């Protein structure tokens, strides 16, 4: 079995991706198993940031690495919050904003805006080694609209205000299984599976 470091300490992500790639003889190991500082995401695109994280994890461990970078792109806001989705409402360097803070800023910035179209993006980048000249890049997008108010109890991040026309519900209200089947991450994983095959 080929060991591969997942450039994330998120256990949910590790479980989800391990299950999705189980038939490719890959053993994903969380980067938290190794003692190194996370990569600084200094790029302006999801692809570049995913590659920065993958190459960094590979350099630190000597193993192939898989990383993802994802976020919400709102068309009326010129793509914001984009790569800064998790820290959209950040006011100081050492205090991370909550999901509620980020949602509040998003809704305030969209007040009186007619175009509420948006999409989630997930980019998965896999490298065989640090200087791999041909990394595998898989991208998934999930299109919808930003609601005026929070709907639903589940999910995380912007899920309570992201409305999916296909299901007729917010990402927070549709349930884990439905979300896992149609989300941006599900689509990126599907594309990665095709590339690995």
Q: What residue ranges do the domains of the chain occupy?
A: 2-196
Q: How confident is residue 11, by pLDDT bands cut at 50, 70 and 90?
A: confident
DSSP secondary structure string for all residues of 134-197: S-EEEEEEEEEEE-SS---SS-STTGGGEEETTTTEETTTS-HHHHHHHSHHHHHHHHHHHHH-
In percent, the amount of the chain with pLDDT more than 70 equals 100
SS3 40: coil
CATH 3.90.950.10 fits domain 2-196: yes
pLDDT on residue 93? 83
| pLDDT at position 15 over 90 | no
**Burial class of 98 by CB neighbour count within 10 A (0 to 12, 13 to 18, 19+):** exposed
Over residues 94-105, mean pLDDT: 94
Digit-coded pLDDT (tens) for 116-159: 999 999 999 999 999 999 999 999 999 999 999 999 988 889 99
Q: Is 69 a catalytic residue?
A: yes
Identify the active-site residue in 68, 69, 80, 159. Answer: 69
């Amino acid at each position: 079995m080929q060991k591969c470091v997942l450039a994330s300490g998120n256990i949910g992500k590790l479980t989800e991706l391990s299950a999705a790639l189980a038939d490719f003889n890959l053993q994903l190991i969380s980067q938290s198993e190794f003692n190194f500082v996370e990569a600084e995401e200094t790029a302006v695109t999801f692809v570049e940031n995913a590659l920065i994280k993958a190459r960094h994890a590979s350099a630190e461990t000597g193993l192939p690495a898989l990383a993802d970078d994802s976020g919400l792109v709102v068309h009326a806001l010129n793509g914001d919050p984009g790569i800064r989705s998790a820290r959209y409402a950040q006011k100081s360097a050492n205090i991370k904003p909550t999901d509620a803070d980020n949602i509040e800023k998003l809704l305030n910035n969209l007040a009186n805006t007619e175009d509420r179209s948006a999409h989630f993006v997930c980019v998965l980048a896999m490298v065989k080694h640090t200087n791999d000249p041909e990394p595998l890049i898989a991208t998934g997008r999930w299109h919808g609209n930003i609601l005026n108010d929070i709907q639903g109890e589940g999910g995380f991040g912007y899920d309570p205000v992201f409305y999916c026309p296909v299901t007729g519900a917010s990402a927070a209200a549709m349930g884990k299984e439905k979300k896992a089947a149609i989300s941006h991450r599900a689509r990126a994983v599907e594309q990665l599976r095709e590339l690995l095959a």
